[in-house]
Amino acid sequence: MIRMSPTLLCGMLLVLATGVRAGGEPVEITIRDYAFQPAAITVPAGTTVRWVNREKRQYHSVWFEALGEPEPDYIFPEESYERSFDSPGEFPYRCGPHPEMRGMVTVSE
């Protein structure tokens, strides 16, 4: 039986409750039923976000069109796309093939 201090335990629970902090594992967004889930997230600067396609068959893309970038490759079921956010701001994105699929990443200080 491993004993843990209450402080350590609280810290671990906080991490579980708030998601992964900057510099840790990527924060994950699920793509399913033609939607980004959750569609809006707020992360601290320096966070990597990973979108994972959990559809059975449908491909999608994660396109930060407003940044003037070309659409990236489609991600097929069980594939993923990652992007790091180093500067604070609001970063809207959409799916290329499905313009009604939209999301927002808000990066805090």
Positions in the binding site for Cu ion (CB under 5 A): 60, 95, 98, 101
Structure tokens at 14: 């906080």
4 is in an annotated binding site: no
- Minimum distance of Cu ion from residue 95's CB (angstroms): 3
Of 43 and 95, which has the nearer Cβ to Cu ion?
Answer: 95
Residue 101 annotated as binding site: yes
Residues facing residue 92 across a β-bridge: 104
CB of 35 to Cu ion, least distance (A): 9
Q: CB nearer to Cu ion: give 28 or 71.
A: 71
Q: Judged by CB, which is closer to Cu ion: 43, or 75?
A: 75
Side by side, which strands form the sheet with 47-53? 35-37, 27-32, 47-53, 80-85
CA nearest neighbour of 48 among 79, 21, 8, 78 = 21
Enumerate residues 6+ apart whose C-beta is below 8 A from 17: none
Residue 10 counted as an annotated binding residue: no
Q: How far is the CB of 59 from Cu ion (least distance, A)?
A: 7
Q: In which residue are the tokens 């059975």 written?
A: 56
Does the bond joining 88 to the residue before it have cis omega, within 30 degrees of 0? no
Q: List binding-site positions for Cu cation.
A: 60, 95, 98, 101
Q: List binding-site positions.
A: 60, 95, 98, 101
